[in-house]
Chain A
Amino acid sequence: AQSVTQPDIHITVSEGASLELRCNYSYGATPYLFWYVQSPGQGLQLLLKYFSGDTLVQGIKGFEAEFKRSQSSFNLRKPSVHWSDAAEYFCAVGGAGNNRKLIWGLGTSLAVNP
Protein backbone atom coordinates (compact mmCIF):
# COMPACT_ATOMS: atom_id res chain seq x y z
CA ALA A 1 0.00 0.00 0.00
CA GLN A 2 1.13 3.52 -0.68
CA SER A 3 1.81 5.50 2.44
CA VAL A 4 3.83 8.22 4.08
CA THR A 5 5.10 7.92 7.62
CA GLN A 6 6.41 10.74 9.74
CA PRO A 7 7.62 8.82 12.79
CA ASP A 8 7.93 11.82 15.08
CA ILE A 9 4.63 13.38 16.10
CA HIS A 10 6.29 16.11 18.10
CA ILE A 11 9.88 17.39 18.31
CA THR A 12 11.36 20.07 20.51
CA VAL A 13 14.72 21.66 19.76
CA SER A 14 16.62 24.61 21.12
CA GLU A 15 17.06 27.69 19.02
CA GLY A 16 20.31 27.43 17.07
CA ALA A 17 20.37 23.66 17.18
CA SER A 18 20.24 21.50 14.08
CA LEU A 19 17.05 19.83 12.99
CA GLU A 20 16.12 16.67 11.14
CA LEU A 21 12.53 15.66 10.50
CA ARG A 22 12.00 12.16 9.22
CA CYS A 23 9.80 11.04 6.36
CA ASN A 24 9.51 7.49 5.13
CA TYR A 25 7.35 6.45 2.23
CA SER A 26 6.02 3.41 0.50
CA TYR A 27 5.31 3.96 -3.16
CA GLY A 28 5.27 1.59 -6.08
CA ALA A 29 6.65 3.94 -8.72
CA THR A 30 9.25 6.67 -8.84
CA PRO A 31 8.08 9.12 -6.20
CA TYR A 32 7.65 12.85 -6.30
CA LEU A 33 8.33 14.10 -2.77
CA PHE A 34 7.32 17.26 -1.01
CA TRP A 35 7.73 19.03 2.31
CA TYR A 36 5.19 21.63 3.40
CA VAL A 37 5.09 23.82 6.50
CA GLN A 38 2.01 25.05 8.32
CA SER A 39 1.98 27.76 10.96
CA PRO A 40 -0.81 27.49 13.55
CA GLY A 41 -4.23 28.18 12.05
CA GLN A 42 -2.75 28.90 8.63
CA GLY A 43 -2.51 27.24 5.27
CA LEU A 44 0.40 25.15 4.04
CA GLN A 45 3.44 26.50 2.25
CA LEU A 46 5.76 24.46 0.05
CA LEU A 47 9.30 24.23 1.46
CA LEU A 48 10.84 22.07 -1.23
CA LYS A 49 10.19 19.23 -3.63
CA TYR A 50 12.04 16.43 -5.34
CA PHE A 51 11.17 15.05 -8.74
CA SER A 52 14.46 13.81 -10.15
CA GLY A 53 18.14 14.63 -10.42
CA ASP A 54 20.26 15.72 -7.48
CA THR A 55 19.04 13.88 -4.43
CA LEU A 56 19.88 16.81 -2.14
CA VAL A 57 17.24 19.46 -2.58
CA GLN A 58 17.44 23.02 -1.34
CA GLY A 59 14.32 24.84 -0.29
CA ILE A 60 13.15 28.08 1.22
CA LYS A 61 13.94 29.33 4.72
CA GLY A 62 17.26 27.48 4.80
CA PHE A 63 15.77 23.99 4.64
CA GLU A 64 17.10 21.08 2.64
CA ALA A 65 16.04 17.48 2.17
CA GLU A 66 17.78 14.39 0.91
CA PHE A 67 16.12 11.67 -1.10
CA LYS A 68 17.47 8.22 -0.27
CA ARG A 69 15.86 5.65 -2.51
CA SER A 70 17.46 2.69 -0.74
CA GLN A 71 15.94 3.80 2.54
CA SER A 72 12.67 5.12 1.10
CA SER A 73 13.26 8.32 2.99
CA PHE A 74 13.11 12.04 2.36
CA ASN A 75 14.29 13.67 5.57
CA LEU A 76 14.13 17.41 6.08
CA ARG A 77 17.07 19.22 7.65
CA LYS A 78 18.08 22.64 8.81
CA PRO A 79 21.51 23.41 10.31
CA SER A 80 20.34 26.08 12.74
CA VAL A 81 16.73 26.44 13.85
CA HIS A 82 15.13 29.81 14.48
CA TRP A 83 12.18 30.42 16.83
CA SER A 84 10.06 31.28 13.80
CA ASP A 85 10.48 27.71 12.51
CA ALA A 86 8.04 26.45 15.12
CA ALA A 87 5.21 24.98 13.05
CA GLU A 88 3.73 21.76 11.72
CA TYR A 89 5.64 20.04 8.93
CA PHE A 90 4.06 17.71 6.41
CA CYS A 91 5.68 15.29 4.02
CA ALA A 92 3.78 14.18 0.92
CA VAL A 93 4.44 11.72 -1.89
CA GLY A 94 2.99 11.40 -5.36
CA GLY A 95 3.89 9.98 -8.70
CA ALA A 96 4.08 11.25 -12.22
CA GLY A 97 0.36 11.68 -12.07
CA ASN A 98 -1.99 14.00 -10.36
CA ASN A 99 -1.87 16.34 -7.41
CA ARG A 100 -5.19 15.00 -6.27
CA LYS A 101 -3.51 11.68 -5.57
CA LEU A 102 -0.86 13.06 -3.27
CA ILE A 103 -0.46 11.01 -0.12
CA TRP A 104 0.08 13.08 2.99
CA GLY A 105 1.87 12.24 6.17
CA LEU A 106 0.24 13.06 9.49
CA GLY A 107 2.71 15.80 10.26
CA THR A 108 5.42 16.59 12.79
CA SER A 109 4.90 19.41 15.22
CA LEU A 110 8.08 21.38 15.91
CA ALA A 111 8.56 23.43 19.04
CA VAL A 112 11.60 25.68 19.47
CA ASN A 113 12.95 26.57 22.90
CA PRO A 114 14.59 29.97 23.25
Chain B
Amino acid sequence: DGGITQSPKYLFRKEGQNVTLSCEQNLNHDAMYWYRQDPGQGLRLIYYSQIVNDFQKGDIAEGYSVSREKKESFPLTVTSAQKNPTAFYLCASSIGDSSGNTIYFGEGSWLTVV
Protein backbone atom coordinates (compact mmCIF):
# COMPACT_ATOMS: atom_id res chain seq x y z
CA ASP B 1 0.00 0.00 0.00
CA GLY B 2 1.13 3.54 -0.70
CA GLY B 3 1.76 5.75 2.23
CA ILE B 4 4.13 7.35 4.68
CA THR B 5 6.01 5.25 7.19
CA GLN B 6 7.48 6.76 10.30
CA SER B 7 9.76 4.90 12.67
CA PRO B 8 10.15 4.31 15.48
CA LYS B 9 6.66 4.82 16.86
CA TYR B 10 8.01 5.38 20.37
CA LEU B 11 11.47 6.63 21.25
CA PHE B 12 13.13 7.51 24.51
CA ARG B 13 16.16 9.72 24.62
CA LYS B 14 18.48 10.77 27.36
CA GLU B 15 19.25 14.43 27.68
CA GLY B 16 22.28 15.40 25.64
CA GLN B 17 21.75 12.74 22.99
CA ASN B 18 20.79 13.26 19.38
CA VAL B 19 18.05 11.09 17.93
CA THR B 20 16.91 10.56 14.35
CA LEU B 21 13.32 9.94 13.33
CA SER B 22 12.80 8.12 10.06
CA CYS B 23 10.23 9.08 7.42
CA GLU B 24 9.79 7.14 4.19
CA GLN B 25 7.10 7.66 1.55
CA ASN B 26 6.25 5.61 -1.51
CA LEU B 27 3.75 8.08 -2.93
CA ASN B 28 6.29 9.61 -5.33
CA HIS B 29 5.70 12.98 -3.71
CA ASP B 30 8.17 15.81 -4.19
CA ALA B 31 7.27 17.81 -1.10
CA MET B 32 7.83 16.55 2.42
CA TYR B 33 7.29 18.14 5.81
CA TRP B 34 8.02 17.65 9.50
CA TYR B 35 5.58 18.92 12.09
CA ARG B 36 5.70 18.95 15.84
CA GLN B 37 2.49 18.51 17.82
CA ASP B 38 2.13 19.46 21.45
CA PRO B 39 -1.10 19.34 23.45
CA GLY B 40 -3.11 22.51 22.98
CA GLN B 41 -0.72 23.93 20.38
CA GLY B 42 -1.80 22.31 17.16
CA LEU B 43 0.73 21.61 14.43
CA ARG B 44 3.93 23.59 14.02
CA LEU B 45 6.17 23.26 10.98
CA ILE B 46 9.78 22.30 11.69
CA TYR B 47 11.28 21.78 8.22
CA TYR B 48 10.05 21.22 4.69
CA SER B 49 11.56 20.09 1.44
CA GLN B 50 10.21 20.70 -2.04
CA ILE B 51 12.78 18.63 -3.90
CA VAL B 52 15.70 16.30 -3.36
CA ASN B 53 18.80 17.93 -1.90
CA ASP B 54 16.87 21.03 -0.87
CA PHE B 55 15.12 21.85 2.37
CA GLN B 56 14.06 24.94 4.25
CA LYS B 57 13.42 25.90 7.84
CA GLY B 58 9.89 26.15 9.10
CA ASP B 59 8.62 28.03 12.09
CA ILE B 60 10.47 26.11 14.82
CA ALA B 61 13.66 24.73 13.24
CA GLU B 62 16.04 25.51 16.10
CA GLY B 63 17.50 22.32 17.56
CA TYR B 64 16.49 20.20 14.58
CA SER B 65 18.18 19.13 11.36
CA VAL B 66 17.05 17.23 8.26
CA SER B 67 18.39 15.77 5.06
CA ARG B 68 16.79 14.93 1.73
CA GLU B 69 19.19 12.70 -0.16
CA LYS B 70 16.44 10.62 -1.71
CA LYS B 71 12.99 11.57 -2.90
CA GLU B 72 11.32 9.04 -0.66
CA SER B 73 13.22 9.77 2.55
CA PHE B 74 13.23 12.80 4.85
CA PRO B 75 14.77 11.95 8.24
CA LEU B 76 14.60 14.38 11.14
CA THR B 77 17.35 14.64 13.74
CA VAL B 78 16.47 16.08 17.11
CA THR B 79 19.70 17.43 18.50
CA SER B 80 20.75 18.08 22.05
CA ALA B 81 20.27 21.77 21.32
CA GLN B 82 16.49 21.28 21.32
CA LYS B 83 15.57 22.27 24.85
CA ASN B 84 12.14 20.72 25.02
CA PRO B 85 12.06 17.82 22.58
CA THR B 86 9.37 15.68 24.18
CA ALA B 87 6.53 15.77 21.66
CA PHE B 88 4.65 13.94 18.94
CA TYR B 89 6.33 14.31 15.56
CA LEU B 90 4.46 14.03 12.28
CA CYS B 91 5.95 13.56 8.85
CA ALA B 92 3.86 14.51 5.84
CA SER B 93 4.10 14.76 2.09
CA SER B 94 2.28 16.16 -0.92
CA ILE B 95 2.73 15.93 -4.68
CA GLY B 96 4.03 19.47 -4.66
CA ASP B 97 4.09 22.28 -2.17
CA SER B 98 1.14 24.08 -3.78
CA SER B 99 -1.89 24.52 -1.54
CA GLY B 100 -3.95 22.67 -4.10
CA ASN B 101 -2.20 19.43 -3.25
CA THR B 102 -3.48 17.33 -0.41
CA ILE B 103 -1.07 16.74 2.47
CA TYR B 104 -0.79 13.13 3.59
CA PHE B 105 0.47 12.31 7.05
CA GLY B 106 2.35 9.45 8.60
CA GLU B 107 1.21 7.93 11.86
CA GLY B 108 3.67 9.88 13.94
CA SER B 109 6.51 9.23 16.34
CA TRP B 110 6.44 9.85 20.07
CA LEU B 111 9.69 11.17 21.47
CA THR B 112 10.23 11.29 25.20
CA VAL B 113 13.31 12.69 26.88
CA VAL B 114 14.16 10.81 30.05
Contacts and interface: CB of A to CB of B under 8 A. Distances in A.
Given A104-B43, A106-B41, A44 B99 contact: no
Interface residues of B, number: 28
A114 interface: no
B41 A100 contact: no
B12 to A, nearest CB: 16
B41 to A, nearest CB: 7
A49 B102 contact: yes
Contact of B105 (A32, A44, A96, A102): A44
Interface residues of A, number: 25
Interface of A: 9, 32, 36, 41-46, 49, 51, 90, 94-102, 104-107
18 contacts: A41-B108, A41-B110, A43-B105, A44-B43, A44-B90, A44-B92, A45-B105, A46-B103, A49-B102, A90-B42, A97-B98, A98-B99, A99-B97, A99-B103, A100-B48, A100-B56, A100-B97, A104-B42
